[in-house]
Amino acid sequence: MTPRWGSLLVAREYAHATQGWSDEGERQAFSGLLPLPEGARVLDIGVGGGRSASFLATPGVSYLAIDSSAEMVRLARRNYPHADVRLGDAADLSGFAAGSQDLVVFSLNGLDCLTHDQRLGFVAAAHRLLGPGGRLVFSTHNLDGPSSRQRPRGRQIVEAVNRPGAINTARALPGAALRLTTSHWFYRRNVGQGEQHDGWATAPLRAHEFRFVVHFCRLAAVVGDVRAAGLDVEEIWTDDGRAIAVDQVTHDAHYAHLVCRKPAAAPPAGYSA
């Protein structure tokens, strides 16, 4: 049976991650956008257990979150009962009107769960949904970073054994051994599904014990896709909080956060300020 993002083993990892930043890079990416202005229209995609709602679903903001997993929707509604959370698919945003959003967010590398064609379609859809000057914020795994090369390793057990305190070690060791066994099983099952292309690839991701084959992309290719959709890239931050120039070809971090902007509407022909 193909693992699902809403399966029990995956959902329980999101059940307690209900607030705060995923990493320093995300904090930096949103530092110039928050607090959101009164009446801002926000579409939060792939909301998971609702973590991003903690800083986006604020008073006075028109907030809507979607997730393709019914279990994740249930978790987010439980954690943030005041937020509007619905079942929805990032690969099909046709139900949202053009210009209906001021901010579209797809956090924690959720974009990488889509196929390559779906990714391109999503960025184009985000351009359609945003009003002039609206922002798209998303993160994506780096083809040139360490995540794309990770394999199951016995280090998981070593880390458990080296934790201070015999009681903690005794408790952690069985779980670490089980995760390692699970990682090897899923990796062997999924590695053959990977693809290699110019500027992007798909491969099993270490997170969630290699259950999922996800997208990895070279930075220059990501920026090119965003610009081809008609959006400007304003800022790029690595997961460890380093700023990257928008014309940089590559970087060495696991993933990066991009802050993109839909250009303001051009003035009518013959207009003079």
pLDDT digits (tens, 9 = 90+) for 13-34: 666 667 899 999 999 999 999 9
Cα 147 from chain centroid (whole Å): 14
SS3 at position 214: strand
More confident residue, 197 or 173: 197
Q: Enter the pTM of the model.
A: 0.85
Percent of the chain with pLDDT over 90: 67
- What digits encode the pLDDT tens for the residues 238-262? 999 999 999 999 999 999 999 999 9
pLDDT at 74 over 90: yes
- 212 against 184, higher pLDDT: 212
- Give Cβ neighbours of residue 42 (< 8 Å, ≥ 6 apart): 36, 56, 57, 61, 62, 63, 64, 101, 102, 103, 104, 105
Strands ordered across the beta sheet of 84-87: 84-87, 62-67, 41-45, 101-106, 130-141, 255-261, 232-238, 243-244
CA-nearest of 177, 173, 109 to 143 is: 109
91, 114 in Cβ contact below 8 A? yes
Q: List the beta bridge partners of residue 135.
A: 103, 261
Choice between 265 and 266, residue whose per-residue pLDDT is larger: 265
Q: Provide the H-helix boundaries in 152-218.
A: 155-161, 166-190
Tell me which of 16-20, 59-63, 161-165 is least confident.
161-165
Query: How far, CA to CA in Å, does 143 sit from each of 82, 260, 272?
Result: 38, 20, 46
- Of the CA atoms within 13 Å of residue 37, those in its CB half-sphere come to 5
Contact in structure between 207 and 221 (CB atoms under 8 Å): no
